[in-house]
Chain A
Amino acid sequence: MEWEVVIGLETHTQLKTQSKIFSGASTHFGAPANTQACAVDLALPGVLPVLNRQAVEHAIRFGLAIGANIAPVSIFARKNYFYPDLPKGYQISQYEIPVVVGGQVEIIFNGEAKLIQLTRAHLEEDAGKSVHEDFIGPHGEPSSGIDLNRAGTPLLEIVTEPVMRSAAEAVAYAKALHSLVVWLDVCDGNMQEGSFRCDANVSVRPKGATKLGTRCEIKNLNSFRFMEEAMNFEIRRQIELIEDGGKVTQETRLYDPDKKETRSMRSKEDANDYRYFPDPDLLPLQINSAWVEQVRASMPILPDVVRKQWQSEYSLGAYDAQLLSQDRATAQLFTALVKLVGQPMAKAAANLVTGELASALNRANLMPSEAPLVAKDLAPLLERVADGTISNKIAKEIFTILWDEAIAGQGQSTIDAIIDQRGWRQINDTAALALLIDQVMADNAKLLEEFQAGKEKAFNALVGQIMKASKGTANPQQVNDLLRKKLT
């Protein structure tokens, strides 16, 4: 039987705010345990929550970016359950009426643009952390510790419709969403620190069926690789289970990246009755149009707008446009670079940014915003290639020199100085090239013979020898043309 996979994602994005969603404690990551938990976070008797406006503005910003409705009135509810890292015994979240309703996120999947429909996005507070491993209690006994630094960190939970049809597509969505929230500056996107975590709802059904299969929810996927592995494992598990005559039971599962499998955490029967009700300590969240417009005015230009602009004005391909709009720093660098070198060189600029620069950043483990080279450092490189002063190959070497100097914090050499110092100016003079070619032909009689015997490969070998003799400075196109002329 042919199976259709149905996936919906719920993503918890930590919102970039100075303080927590309902208290004044700092949200800074990595502080010693329980040093960033105030009376409100500890749920001491008598404390009350006060909503952080910045968190709301981030939610509005996200909602506007995905073309969603911003609810004029939304309600905070209490989700009641007992757990030691949940100090109040309830989580403040939005249940029936969330702040962001609908909207869509554009992804590029298999080279094509597709819109992923969102159900909603709602504001809520994060819980603290339980520390079970390597924690020693006050009397030296193995114990569990509670760190409430994270308790009350603002989250925006972003929920899709069940519209994705493969693990790869779901990962493409997660990546697009990740780059969008980072672009919007509402989330730092740091997945190691848990700033962006996904829960995947996975089910399968016979191809053509309209009714959804029973789903399993895989919790807490905080890397794209694990996400894809976990979903693919879960898809195979469900199909095999059904094909063997079994039935999928609705449950929550966890992914074990060491064993590369998902396993049951709790079944539906064990699920808590969360006893949701509107939180009487908080007023309904009212967002009037003036507030929405104020947020809209502060919005950065959106990645899909930028992409379309580049594709039409610079004739960039969808793939390049996608790569260049992964994050704002890259997009800004590219835009600045094109501004300096001119629109006809946009493609060359794109290649430089997505090629040399991206791999250098990757090797150095740097974020694009941390790139040591700026547009004006890179523009002359493109210009010297365009005016024939250097070849692409030399350009790459110069890039490496510039990069190393910048990383080492040394004074930056000018590109022209490097070219002159190293004698890398390209030889475009026909007479000079002809001399060089004659010399190489004389030194490589064997290759000449081979070529005349009909081996086309020998031609390329000769070109290689000529380039080598010129230390890479001969204009390769001219060498090609001149050699061909001499040999025929």
Chain B
Amino acid sequence: MSERAYRVIGSRPVRHDGADKVTGRAQFGADIRLPGLLHGHLLRSPYAHARIRRIDTRRAEALPGVLAVVTAADLPEVPDRLLELVEGTLPLSYAQANVLARRKVLYKGHAVAAVAAVNRHVAEEAASLIEVEYEPLPPVLDLLEAMREDAPLLHEDLRTREFGQPTGKLSNIAEHFRHALGDVEQGFAQAEVILEREFRTATVHQGYLEPQTATALWNQDGRVYVWTSTQGAFSAREAIAWVLDLPVSQVRVTPMEVGGAFGGKIRVYLEPVAALLSKKAGRPVKIVMPRRDVFEATGPTPATCIRVKMGARADGRITAAQIWMAYETGAFPSGQCGFGALCILAPYDIPNILIDGYDVVVNKPSTAPYRAPGATQAAFAAESVVDELAERLGLDPIEFRLKNAAREGTRRADGLKYPRIGCVEVLEAMKNHPHYRAPLEGAHRGRGVAMGYWFNIGWYSSCTISVNPDGTVNLVEGSVDLSGTRTSIAMQAAEALGLRADQVHPVVADTDSIGPTAVTGGSRTTFATGWAAWEAAQDVIRQMKERAALLWEVGPDQVEFEGGVFRAGERSLSFRELAERLEETGGPVIGRGTVNPSSAGGSFAGAIADVEVDPETGKVCLLRFTCVQDAGTAVHPGAVEGQMQGGSAQGIGWALNEEYLFDPQGVMLNSSLLDYREPTALDVPPIETLIVQAPEPDHPFGVRGVGEANIVPPPAAIANAIYRAIGVRLRRLPMKPSAVLEALWSKER
């Protein structure tokens, strides 16, 4: 538990953007209104794989009310360079081809052309008048088939990288990597029980409620202004500038309120298209993605195939684990398998590990991160096998995990030596939780547990703090606020300055108004931008000490600051009293903070799930669910609980119902919120939370990001619970009713 006493950290103030969000005043991406605004609409490919032979836009251009039509021909040729994404790097040519297809369409829904018109209905009508001649090609839709030597190739220039080196071999396998620790052969030789299992998981979507949207104005002075729903104003600025071959400083991105993202709003989709349309039309253009396109043409998260071989001694020690994992990347390469590999065995101290990972392109939308990208699929596989091993050895599943738990000094599969982590603390908290000890009676009921991990990232952030004469401060930050980080960052500034949370006024700024700040993702924002705010606060304190020293005619190092009061000997001024006197002591005080921590403490989360299975329909009902997570230090416990509950609900949806269904031609069959079936309020039980606090050693307040690890354990915990309810182990996500029923039938046969 937290060892330090804080005044603000650990409290639950009402969030700073709260009033705007309950009154409808908050400005989300699509809410922007500009004089002369046009509406854009994209034409998308009906084929999953085809060559574009010809595009004729004349009929669309002739429709009254149409002001601009663009295709990939309007995009500049761009130099060969790598675009930095959170999940790795992507060749710029691929990033550009995903915005508007150039020679080939690589998935159903791939953007081909766009129209700007006086309203959305005219734009839609015009888009339908664009004639595109396609040469359909056989689609590659299955991960394992895509890996075959004789599979049709998506790209004519994609060569496999193996163990970090180019091989020159053309294939759909973008990357094959390996992590090795110890000697797995020897490890398995020591094992008394060895299990080998294969798991499949389906493509799922982040499912944010706000569709992608972008508004752009290509100003007559050559600057491009963009208002968008993005996780990172600066990463969007870079991507837009690169795709349009502009200097980054020519682009200003204003991040609007974001209606959910979860990793899916890092890439740019509509922004460059809106900019091109605006350039042609000479007026601002807004595009709002229809929901179907959100499913078909943004970045869902990979379907996977994961094989886990794990061995343990009779005394309960895991001796070796070998993993073969292949992740679909969709139409273009992505690095999520690599993330999965860092997480798949992360909760355990296993001396002998061999992991082979493959990123494979298929004719589906280009995948994007989704909350702990790659980790949930990995944990579903590994945690199911860990559970089965515990059962074989006759051990309680939490005791078995504790016996093998990773702790400070344990090596992760990639060789990283853990600093202080909270894995054991989370497991102990689960073991002692009333939920785990509560009796669970009744037929077809079972309880399962699982662990999850997300490594969290650091990365660069900027903040400025200016002092108001009334003793409050304005905090300007570059981090887009997805779910309350304005408040969790402001609270850290308030703590450092001895102020109340409501005396810090946070503002998320555009890219012209604050220093570069990396994307809100990787659970980094409360950690890294909070740290930058702390640095900015220290800068303010340093300058304010100088002002007090001036008033008191002492040296600045004689002035102390504690509990919101500046002191030197007998003399003292509160923060507010000194703030009133800045004008007479040299003018405004503005503090700045920039950080770029290379690593961050990872976060562990555990789930306990009770289920009841209807053996006649296969439907799984969650009776009770508990999430336990290490927050390092919980800045705003209410917001931390909110993250835990939200991540758990997403994990529950992933476990039970969510999936992309495709026809044999690669057309998505369920691209609506009706048929994609995100959980409703009735589909999840009240989600209990328990926050564990094992402070991160480097951060000024010991903060660990909590945004992601919570989504990781639910599918495995629910699979393990289903096994205890009906005696069947499900190794495919989602564990939908028909799948549960079929598993029951095959057990009976």
Question: Is B truly associated with A?
Answer: no
Partner-B contacts on A (CB < 8 A): none
Partner-A contacts on B (CB < 8 A): none
